[in-house]
Amino acid sequence: MYISDLIEDFLEHLEIESGRSKKTIENYRLYLERFLEITQEILNKDDIKPGDINREVLRKYRLKLNRYGSENGGDDFKTITQAYHLIALRGFMKYLVKREIKSLDPSLIELPRVIRKQVSFLHFDEVEEMLNQIDTSNESGLRDRAIIELLYSGGLRVSELVNLNRDSINLERREFMVRGKGSKDRPIFISEACADRVRDYLDARTDSLPALFLNNSKNLQTADTSGNYRRMTARSIERIVEKYARLAGITKHVSPHTLRHSFATDLLMNGADLRAVQSMLGHADISTTQIYTHVTDAHLREIHEKFHSETH
């Protein structure tokens, strides 16, 4: 069999047997088709077989991947993007091993060291200043207030927020479930103030549409009859967050994910356990949550000043 056919088999395996999301499968297709394209160039032939892939081909592939952007008139791939390509390739090679198809040993595919960017977050008073900019005398203002409160209080991803329906959220218990990355469910807890703001917004609405947050633009034109035609998009939420950050005089870039970072940071600064924060964020790996531990630096300074003997 040829690599091109086996890639299709692998993607079907991800969908049916591994239950991976459509987005993940789309990304894997892109990465593996790019691998095939580069490998065809390296070997100077169209029909690549699993046995053609060896250490030297891998070395040349990584080199071309590193230079892919500049050689194709664009920007070179960042290290994290190259890592995603290699993760997809390693998964594909593991699949071939399971099918007893001889090819490159997956253990030979080492990932590049990725240096994580420092997490950007807002302090509580900055979030409050954003909320103070919102005119809640109309439905749109009530909606915007509820959106920012919910992002900050629940630590939601923007994709999780836009998928919420009215009946998704229990305002009395102030907890509900969301389906996050990898189709994993996790509980979301919100403050009483957040629940009140969501309730204020819903009370102001006169429609019966299912989506929790609606686009109020008068320019919406669509043939969609599913009831979702006014559901807000992730980009709409991003614009709202950016707008109030700007009005609050916050000069750094603020996105919905910044509010998620702020949620995690606030928990840790107030003494929450890292494992608990991991669960509330829905991180599969504790190492992902550890990017927030920079916030403990301030506590270490306080402890040092309080308990370390000072010389005179």
Q: What is the per-residue pLDDT across 168-178, written as a single tens digit (0 to 9) for each?
A: 999 999 999 98
Q: Which of 92, 76, 125 is nearest to 249 (CA)?
A: 125
Tokens 């593991």, residue located:
94
The structure tokens listed for 137 are: 């005398």
- Is residue 139 in a domain? yes
Contact 150, 156 (CB under 8 A): yes
- How crowded is residue 260: how many other Cβ atoms within 10 Å of its Cβ? 22
- Is residue 117 in a domain? no
- Is residue 118 in a domain? no
Q: Are residues 170 and 257 in the same domain?
A: yes
- Whichever domain contains 13, its CATH number is 1.10.150
Q: Are residues 133 and 22 in the same domain?
A: no
Look at the chain and report how many structural domains it folds into. Answer: 2
The structure tokens listed for 133 are: 């900019």
Q: Are residues 277 and 216 in the same domain?
A: yes
Last residue of a domain, one of 58, 77, 108: 108
Q: Is the pTM of this model over 0.85?
A: no
Q: Are residues 134 and 190 in the same domain?
A: yes
Q: Are residues 131 and 104 in the same domain?
A: no
Q: What is the per-residue pLDDT across 149-201, written as a single tens digit (0 to 9) for each?
A: 999 999 999 999 999 999 999 999 999 998 877 678 889 999 999 999 999 99
pLDDT mean over 120-127 = 89
- Is residue 116 in a domain? no
Q: Which of 17, 18, 6 is nearest to 52 (CA)?
A: 6
- The per-residue pLDDT for 184 is 80
Give the residue numbers annotated as catalytic, written as ranges: 157, 181, 257, 260, 283, 292
Q: Are residues 136 and 256 in the same domain?
A: yes
Last residue of a domain, one of 76, 108, 140: 108
Domain hosting residue 173, numbered range: 124-302
